[in-house]
Amino acid sequence: MASIIPILKKSYLLSDTQIGRLSTLFMIGYVAACPFFGFFGDRLKKKEALLICAVLVWSTSNFLTGFATSYGQLAFYRTLVGIGQAGFSILAPSILADHFSREKQNSILSFFYTAIPLGSAFGFITGGYLSSFLTLNKVFIYSSLPCFIILIAYLLFGHHQFKSTHTESTGNIALNDIPAIFKIKEYLFACLGYCAYNYALGTIAFWGPTLLLRKHHIDNENASIIFGTLLVVMGISGTLIGGAIANKFKKHYSNAYTIICFSSMLLSVPFCLLALFQTNYDLALLNISLGMFFAFFITGPVNTLIMQSSPEELKTSAFAISVILIHILGDMWSAESIGRLLDLKFEINIALLLLPIFFLVAAFLWIFPVLSRNKQGMK
């Protein structure tokens, strides 16, 4: 969606606020579906069937977006895409955690979450490229095809390839067991930090190509391709290197995951600031790259921290709750809030100052439990 903002605005005569609201509606669908997938994910013995249904909703809704003739229809289909993606985002990590030991979970989840920058970059690059010679509806239709192909391949070749290392859920989990999750300080602050991080990441993920277009006067196709390329290279390398460093430190420090999350934010913030105010285009790209690289260090560690700090029998529900929180308090509103600032005539680099600000908030929230324990230990 972010790679075709200028075309969307022209085709539907939309304001920046309306463009940002499409991201908000996507997140509303996403968050609304999370309790359903979390509840049944802890109770069904075959989570894979629910996962397949979610991916089917996701793919079909994106395909149907290509036939939208009004802003209302476009908004409706984006909401459905959010519902489908919620199922995948909650169930897939839980299924993976079921198949691997605690010692291997950070490595597996770090590798799994490279799909975020890879998929986002694929969307930026293909969206920007296809929009240069196809109509808007065909961009949505053709961009849906890879998801259908992957789903068919999974049904034919990938289903039931692994045996779980965990016992199946008994299905007897009560709803009143779930509030106990919030009493776990590590879980709570991991989620709150992730909320701030997701808000920040949501601003640049949606408006990144527009930053290049408006501040450095790069045309939409090239802005999308360049931003997408940086995202995939820095996102994948940052995710894998951050996960590897966390694994190494975990052997010596029990708080390794938390410390990696805190440190990566402090490293990313200066490069984010330089990227927003750098007038030289090449230096701006360099700073964007480094800011992305360090920002993605947290991907495996924070998700592993959330997964491992929650009770085993409530793992999927705990993960679903974390997803609800990071979107309701995070990126559900970030794209639209930047759009509102732009409609108020703020320059895009000023509006995007929310990016480094919320990275700093995330850093403090992640390190707080460690500082609190150290203070209590001193007493």
pLDDT tens for 239-257 read 999 999 998 888 888 888 9
pLDDT at 169: 47
* pLDDT for 166 beyond 60: no
* pLDDT for 105 beyond 60: yes
- Determine the Cα–Cα distance for residues 118 and 120; give it in Å rounded to an integer: 6
Confidence of residue 171 (pLDDT cuts 50, 70, 90): very low
Listed ranges 196-210, 227-241, 264-278; the one with the highest mean pLDDT: 264-278
- Determine the Cα–Cα distance for residues 110 and 316; give it in Å rounded to an integer: 18
* pLDDT for 305 beyond 70: yes
Higher pLDDT, residue 301 or 48: 301
pLDDT at 3: 66
pLDDT at 374: 63
pLDDT at 195: 94
Q: Are 60 and 12 in contact (CB under 8 A)?
A: no
Q: What is the mean pLDDT of residues 215-235?
A: 85
pLDDT at 375: 60
* pLDDT for 348 beyond 50: yes
Q: What is the mean pLDDT of residues 201-210?
A: 89
* pLDDT for 299 beyond 70: yes
* pLDDT for 24 beyond 80: yes
- Mention every residue, 6+ apart, whose C-beta is less than 8 A from residue 174: none
Higher pLDDT, residue 225 or 194: 194
Dump pLDDT digits (tens) for 135-157: 888 888 887 888 888 888 878 87
pLDDT at 72: 92
Domains of the chain: 2-158+182-378 (1.20.1250.20)
- Determine the Cα–Cα distance for residues 239 and 110; give it in Å rounded to an integer: 6
**What percent of the chain is modeled with pLDDT above 70?**
90
For residue 235, give the nearest of 278, 193, 298, 284 by alpha carbon.
298
Question: Around Cβ 15, how many Cβ atoms within 10 Å?
Answer: 13
Confidence of residue 172 (pLDDT cuts 50, 70, 90): very low
- Determine the Cα–Cα distance for residues 307 and 128; give it in Å rounded to an integer: 36
* pLDDT for 262 beyond 50: yes
For residue 183, give the nearest of 273, 297, 295, 310 by alpha carbon.
310
- Determine the Cα–Cα distance for residues 158 and 18; give it in Å rounded to an integer: 40
Dump pLDDT digits (tens) for 55-102: 899 899 989 988 988 989 999 999 999 999 888 888 888 888 778 877
Taking all residues of the chain, what is their mean pLDDT, rounded to a whole number? 84
* pLDDT for 164 beyond 80: no
Q: Confirm whether pTM is higher than 0.85.
A: no
Q: What is the mean pLDDT of residues 310-334?
A: 81
